[in-house]
Structure 1
Amino acid sequence: MTATTAEAPTETDALIDHILSRYHQTHRSELPGLIELAERVGTVHAGDPQSPKGLAEALTALGREMEEHMAKEEMILFPAMRAGGRPGIEHPLAVMRADHDDHAEGIEQIREMTDNLTPPDHACGSWRALYAGTDKFLDDLTAHVALENDVLFPRFEQG
């Protein structure tokens, strides 16, 4: 059990509330600023071979996927879970797990394009802040996915 899952509430409604407030709201509040910073750093350092070319686009794509995913959870999956689960819930759970796999690919792509978010020695403060913020964001997203995959979803899966 990770620290993230150890800190999570045990009761399902409380766990869903925790996911919504700790992760969904945090992702939605942090990502736009990271995208804006990535655009600015990319523009200012466009001539630098080590600049994070494509990072703003990768964050934007990941954010779009995440927003669709979180909306499906908020409108369909979580209400069904709060109602105790329904016959057929395994289908939306399978879709959510597939989305999580897509998020993991996006995280991997971002880490690869940025040397695992390690700024070069000559990076300016904005570039360093971008990488630190993106690292925190990706760590949060990874913890969010693990909490759903390992704690919440199994409560509603047969097996």
Structure 2
Amino acid sequence: MKDHSEAQAPKETGALIDHILTRYHDTHRGQLAALVPLADRVERVHADDPDAPVGLAGALATLAQELESHMAKEEMILFPAMRAGGGPGIAHPIAVMRADHDDHAGNIALIRSLTNDLTAPDHACGSWRSLCQGIAQLLDDLATHIALEKDELFPRFEPV
């Protein structure tokens, strides 16, 4: 199900940043904290199943590390600069964040590949199905999060 938080996002920059922090940063941290061990368990329990998502826990852990690094840079560098009104030096951190967004695509493609595009096989157990549903929600949230920054927040500080 598509989240419509982007359409409901606050217009004021400080409030928009707060929205991104609570709706997306906090949410992604919680999602990944649950999904990585669940993927590990599904991989171990179904190790003999040819459809098992072997390598998924590692791919999710890599995504978690990438996102944690990205979100920390936003929280410690970019967002405080934006709250202070931006300035000429803000173009570089925005460019870095845009590049990070692009870099996530490869790992997301791997996750989709390992999960048969987020589709559990017919014989999958409840945990496996829950894993696919949880990853689908994570990726949907992440896409909305990235679009909100790329289309709404970052352009406020970039030259036209």
How would you bin the TM-score normalised by the shorter chain? over 0.9
Task: Name 2:6's counterpart in structure 1.
Answer: 5
Task: Name 1:119's counterpart in structure 2.
Answer: 120
How far did 1:5 drift?
Answer: 2.4
Alpha-carbon distance between aligned partners in 2 of 1:10 and 1:61, rounded to the nearest angstrom: 33
Alpha-carbon distance between aligned partners in 2 of 1:14 and 1:133, rounded to the nearest angstrom: 27
1:30-83 deviation digits (Å, cap 9, x = unpaired): 211100000000000011111111100000000000000000000000000001
1:117-142 deviation digits (Å, cap 9, x = unpaired): 10000000000001101110111111
Task: Name 2:155's counterpart in structure 1.
Answer: 154
How far did 1:88 drift?
Answer: 1.5
Q: Secondary structure at the match of 1:138?
A: helix
Alpha-carbon distance between aligned partners in 2 of 1:100 and 1:43, rounded to the nearest angstrom: 31
TM-score, length of structure 1 as denominator length: 0.96
Structure 1 letter corresponding to 2:43: G
In the alignment, structure 1 residue 86 sits paired with structure 2 residue 87:
yes
Task: Name 1:131's counterpart in structure 2.
Answer: 132
Give the aligned CA root-mean-square deviation in angstroms.
1.1
In the alignment, structure 1 residue 47 sits paired with structure 2 residue 52:
no
In the alignment, structure 1 residue 33 sits paired with structure 2 residue 28:
no
Q: Secondary structure at the match of 1:7?
A: coil
Task: Name 1:60's counterpart in structure 2.
Answer: 61
Q: Identity of paired residues, percent?
A: 65
TM-score, length of structure 2 as denominator length: 0.96
Alpha-carbon distance between aligned partners in 1 of 2:17 and 2:102, rounded to the nearest angstrom: 20
Task: Name 2:110's counterpart in structure 1.
Answer: 109
Q: Secondary structure at the match of 1:89?
A: helix
1:90-145 deviation digits (Å, cap 9, x = unpaired): 10100000000111222122112211110000000000001101110111111111
Number of residues of Structure 1 aligned to a counterpart in Structure 2: 158
Gaps of at least 5 residues in structure 1 are none
Q: Secondary structure at the match of 1:5?
A: coil
